[in-house]
Amino acid sequence: MPDPRKCAVILVDMARDFLEPGGFIANAGGPDYQARAQAIVPPLKKMIEAARKLGATVVYSTDEHTPEDLEMRKWPPHSMKGSPWAVITADLAMQPGDLNLPKTTYSGFQSTDMESRLRSRGIDTLYITGLHTDCCCRHTSGDAFQKGFNLVWVTDCLQAFTQEGHDSGLDYFRTWYATDAENQFLTADQVIKTWQDASAMAQAAE
C-alpha cells in the first residue's frame, strides 16, 4: 500500500488551451472532446485536494511554449508562455506546496528537472492524469517507467481527442508499462481510498 508522502499526482496539460472553447487544442478537438476533457476536472480536483491533505505531492506538467520550441515544427502555436491560454484551468489552480514544472515537450521529463525534483522529495510512485492519454501522458509514462518510478493511471482523470485515442492509450500502458495492472488502473475515488487506508495504518503503527 503506497505511502502518500512518497506519491505524486502528475497533472499533464490541464491548461485552459486544452479545455476551454477558444483554445487552439480545445477548438481542434471540438465540442465532444471539450465535454470529455472537462469531465475529468471534478474527479481530478477531488483527488488533488485529498493529495494535499494526506501529504502527496501535486505536480503541474503543462505546456508553456515559445515560438522556438521544437514542438512548433509539428503543431501550430498553443498554450503559449505568458498567454491566458497557458494558465491552469481555475478549478485545478495551484496551491502553496504544489510543484510547478512548465514543459515544452510532450514529456515533462525531457524539458524540466522533473526527475531530480521528484527524487529530492523521496517520491517513488506517480499517478498519471490529464491530457492526452495517447500523447503527452503516454510519453510521460514511458519516461517514468524507464526511470524506475512506480506508475498508476487514474482512468477517470485522463482523456484524449477521441474516446478511441483514450482507450488505445490505456491499452498501450497495459501492454508496455504495467507490472501489476489490477492495482495500476484506478479511479480517483479508489486512489483516495488507498491513500486514506495507508495513512490510517501508519497512524495506528505510531
- Mean pLDDT, residues 127-156 taken together: 98
- Type and span of the H or E element at 156: strand 150-159
Is the per-residue pLDDT at 1 higher than 80?
no
Question: In 3-state terms, what secondary structure has residue 21?
Answer: strand
Percent of the chain at pLDDT above 70? 100
Give pLDDT, residue 202. 81
30-35 contacts: CB < 8 A, separation 24 or more?
33/159, 33/161, 33/162
Is the confidence at residue 61, as pLDDT, over 80? yes
Confidence of residue 84 (pLDDT cuts 50, 70, 90): very high
Give the span between the Cα atoms of 28 and 30, in whole angstroms.
Answer: 6
pLDDT at position 184 over 80: yes
- Report pLDDT for 171: 98
Please name each of the domains of the chain with its CATH number. 4-205 (3.40.50.850)
Site of grid cell 483527488: 47
**Set of cell numbers at residue 190:** 479508489
Closest to 54 (Cα-Cα) out of 203, 190, 204, 195:
195
Mean pLDDT lowest among 20-24, 26-30, 68-72, 131-135: 68-72
pLDDT-based confidence at 203, cuts 50/70/90?
confident
What confidence tens digit (pLDDT) does each residue in 144-153 have? Answer: 999 999 999 9
CA distances from 140 to 6, 28, 105 (A): 18, 22, 10
Q: Cα–Cα distance between 70 and 68 in angstroms, integer?
A: 6
DSSP string, 46-103: HHHHHHHHHT-EEEEE-B-B-TT-GGGGTS-S-SBTTSGGGSBPGGG---TT-EE--B
Going from the C-alpha of 161 to that of each of 16, 28, 77, 136, 185, the distances in angstroms are 15, 9, 17, 12, 20
Cα of first residue to Cα of last residue in the chain, in angstroms, is: 17
Please, what is the angle between helix 163-176 and helix 136-146, to 10°?
10
**Band of pLDDT at residue 10, cut at 50, 70 and 90:** very high
pLDDT score, position 40:
98
pTM: 0.97
Mean pLDDT of 9-28: 98
| Residue 85: C-alpha distances to residues 58, 107, 194 (Å) | 21, 19, 34
**3-class DSSP state of 178:** coil
What per-residue confidence (pLDDT) applies to 43?
A: 98
How does the average pLDDT of the chain come out, rounded?
97
What was the pLDDT predicted at 62? Answer: 98
pLDDT digit string, tens, across residues 40-51 = 999 999 999 999
Does 206 score more than 80 pLDDT? no
